[in-house]
Amino acid sequence: SKRLCYVGTDDTAAGKQVMLETIKLLGDKPPVVAILAGNQTATNLQKRVAGARAAVESTPNAKLVEVVYHKETPQDAYQAVEQLQKTHPEINGWAMVGGWPLMTPRPLPWNPGEVICVS
């Protein structure tokens, strides 16, 4: 390539920031979080997940329940979030390194104020 420069996202830093904001919004509640990550083989999403994991690991009392991978469609993402939230109702924060489920006409599968979601 004869490009002079490239401007893009630092995916690791972006994932870390998404998780840090999720944890911050939980306030005094011990963070019990999940990561929504899309395609497991996508390099950019792997880096975002690594950044989000690092944020959890550096936060005392934080617990990562699961990283959720899915087909990158709004419907599949929503279903994945809904299923894990039902299985683990203790999850109080979602770090979504992609916003797929936010593109459905349905609200997220919890009552307002019950779960924090940052994307």
Q: What is the pLDDT of residues 3-29, one digit of tens each?
A: 888 788 999 999 999 999 999 999 999
The Cα 61–Cα 56 span in angstroms is 9
Residue 88 has pLDDT above 90, yes or no: yes
Give the pLDDT of residue 8: 87
Lookup: tokens for 28 = 């005094």
User: Ramachandran region of residue 27, left (φ > 0), alpha (ψ -120 to 50) or beta?
Assistant: left
Would you list the DSSP string of 71-118?
-SSHHHHHHHHHHHHHH-TT--EEEESS-GGGGSSSPPSS-TTTSEEE
CA 119 from chain centre, in angstroms, equals 6
Q: Model-level pTM?
A: 0.91
Which backbone phi and psi does 61 adopt, to 5 degrees?
70, 5
The Cα 2–Cα 104 span in angstroms is 40
